Amino acid sequence: MGGAVSAGEDNDELIDNLKEAQYIRTELVEQAFRAVDRADYYLEEFKDNAYKDLAWKHGNIHLSAPCIYSEVMEALDLQPGLSFLNLGSGTGYLSSMVGLILGPFGVNHGVELHSDVIEYAKQKLDFFIKTSDSFDKFEFCEPSFVTGNCLEISPDCSQYDRVYCGAGVQKEHEDYMKNLLKVGGILVMPLEEKLTKITRTGPSAWETKKILAVSFAPLIQPNHADSGKSRLVHLPPVAVRSLQDLARIAIRGTLKKIIRQEAMSKNGNGLKNPPKFKRRRTRRRRMETIVFLDKEVFASRISNPSDDNNNSEDFEDEGEEEEETKTSELKPDPPVNFLREKVLSLPLPDPLKYYLLYYREK
């Protein structure tokens, strides 16, 4: 067993490794991955493994390997305002990252078979909203989760711009999945041991692209042994935001623009780049390998610098040792939540300030 990229010491280093291996290729996806700490979705006793490029499963709780999620996020080609359906939404980790890109006017729905996992996902979502500074850096499309079998979605449900299925789809269910898409929409799912991207180009026209060799546990078939009847899954209705909520979004957006303008005025032509702190250098070997991860298998396609360059790197390392020692002694200042500070400084009643901050703890 092994990951497609080296383990990171923290969430940022994990993302650095995914970028270096070309699993993360776009800025939007990178920002979303950095904003949501993967370790927050682990049980406390398993957090030591959070930054390894490995899948994790405990009971019904499951997280795919980071390189799988990054390939999925890239393939979905997410944009603000789109509608997204996550089949097998699990812990909500992927749905939360998607929500940061969709923004306040998107739709973010998830279907999960196990009710205990739904409760776990809601707890993790609540923790993210209340404690993460990333929540104030983005406009968030909050996920809504429903319990049920994703193969029993009500036929009168709305279609979606983007759909992801996190379990192996049998060939006989391919058309069922396709029909969940709007024209122009994108479906990403494991199909016939390949992570597959399907784009609906017309009412009956499709483009299919195989992305990566994978092997997921198959979708669980509906069980009607008890009643003999199908238990239809009704997805959340697409609700219109209240005027009060729209006002909050507009005020927060205006404050963010003011903060950016103040920063640009203070720093001259633009925001100055923050000081960079060197990370531990990790050597990797060129590898083409198959990775087995508890019912989830994927093929590495990484091509990294070969060990032939080690001698020249050693000279570089010696020259950098002194610099790294100096920079390691410097610690970056804790990030400042400028939006929160700006809201709290406004001459407004406290209840209104707390409303603008979504009653967050941090």
Catalytic residue selected from 64, 132, 134, 300 = 64
Q: What is the CATH number of the domain that holds 73?
A: 3.40.50.150
Specify the residue for token string 């994927």.
298
Q: Does 195 lie in the same domain as 73?
A: yes
List b or e across 147-175, with b for residues whose CB sees 16 or more CB atoms inside 10 angstroms. ebbbbebeeebeebbbbbbbbbbeeebbe
Do the domain assignments include residue 136? yes
Q: Does 125 lie in the same domain as 21?
A: yes
Please give the chain's pLDDT, 362 residues, in tens.
336 778 889 999 999 999 999 999 999 999 999 999 999 999 999 999 999 999 999 999 999 999 999 999 999 999 999 999 999 999 999 999 999 999 999 999 999 999 999 999 999 999 999 999 889 999 999 999 999 999 999 998 999 999 999 999 999 999 999 999 999 999 999 998 899 999 999 999 999 999 988 889 899 988 766 555 668 999 998 888 899 999 999 999 999 999 999 988 887 654 445 544 445 544 444 334 444 444 444 444 434 444 445 554 554 555 555 555 555 555 566 778 999 999 999 999 999 999 999 988 76
Q: Does 355 lie in the same domain as 218?
A: no
Residue 345 is part of which domain span? Answer: 241-264+339-361
Do the domain assignments include residue 80? yes
Do the domain assignments include residue 235? yes
Do the domain assignments include residue 192? yes
| Neighbouring residues of 129: CB distance < 8 A, sequence distance ≥ 6 | 135, 140, 142, 358, 360
Do the domain assignments include residue 15? yes
To the query of whether residue 6 is one of the catalytic residues in this protein, the response is no
Q: Does 256 lie in the same domain as 107?
A: no
Q: Does 153 lie in the same domain as 16?
A: yes
DSSP state at residue 299: E
The torsion angles phi and psi of 302, rounded to 5 degrees, stand at -80, 145
Q: Does 91 lie in the same domain as 20?
A: yes
Split into its structural domains, the chain has a count of 2
Q: Does 153 lie in the same domain as 53?
A: yes
Structural element, H or E, at residue 17: helix 11-20
Do the domain assignments include residue 292? no
- Ramachandran sector of residue 349 (left: φ over 0; alpha: ψ -120 to 50; beta: rest): beta
Q: Does 258 lie in the same domain as 155?
A: no
Do the domain assignments include residue 193? yes
